[in-house]
Amino acid sequence: MSDLVSSDAWVDCGAYNVDFYLNDGSKTALDPLLFADRRTGPPNQFAALLTTDYNHVGIYDIAYTIYYEDYPGNKVDSPNSFTHEILLACPQATTFTPSTPAAQTYTLTASQLSYVVPAFTTDPTICEVAYSMQIKDASNNVVPCAGCFDPAT
């Protein structure tokens, strides 16, 4: 009887459950297309799944609640959340739609001319577009640095 009262005694309250959810304030359940709860049998893991859907790209802030299966009211929320980031590389088969630049002429003795290249469109939109530019003369020859190009702007 003294073992039950002793601070060294352990009580087996049975199995416990862990519920994972988005740490968004409303405990939104995780998307089963992105995360798999495989803890009910082999391989006994919580896993992030493979996706090719670019709409899933992002950072997921995840938290959990743990509780005894026989005592669901006796629960504890995770003290901290953790993040899982889904990144997808740009596929080789990307749809690329160039813009149509407006033709402009420039006289060398005139003031500076600023030209903004209209945005190009890619699908999926996660793919980065790198711009380059050439200036050609009336004979279609490339003019070296007649107007220098800064791809960052």
pLDDT per residue as tens digits for the range 9-19: 677 778 888 88
Backbone angles phi, psi at 29, to 5 degrees: -60, 150
Closest CA to 126 of 82, 81, 69, 88: 88
Are 27 and 82 part of one and the same domain? yes
Place of tokens 């739609």: 97
Confidence of residue 36 (pLDDT cuts 50, 70, 90): confident
pTM (predicted TM-score): 0.52
Are 115 and 76 part of one and the same domain? no
Are 15 and 64 part of one and the same domain? yes
**Residue 30 confidence (pLDDT):** 92
User: What is the extent of the structural domain holding 132?
Assistant: 90-153
User: How many domains would you assign to the chain?
Assistant: 2
Beta carbons within 8 Å of 68's beta carbon, 6+ residues apart: 13, 14, 15, 16, 17, 74
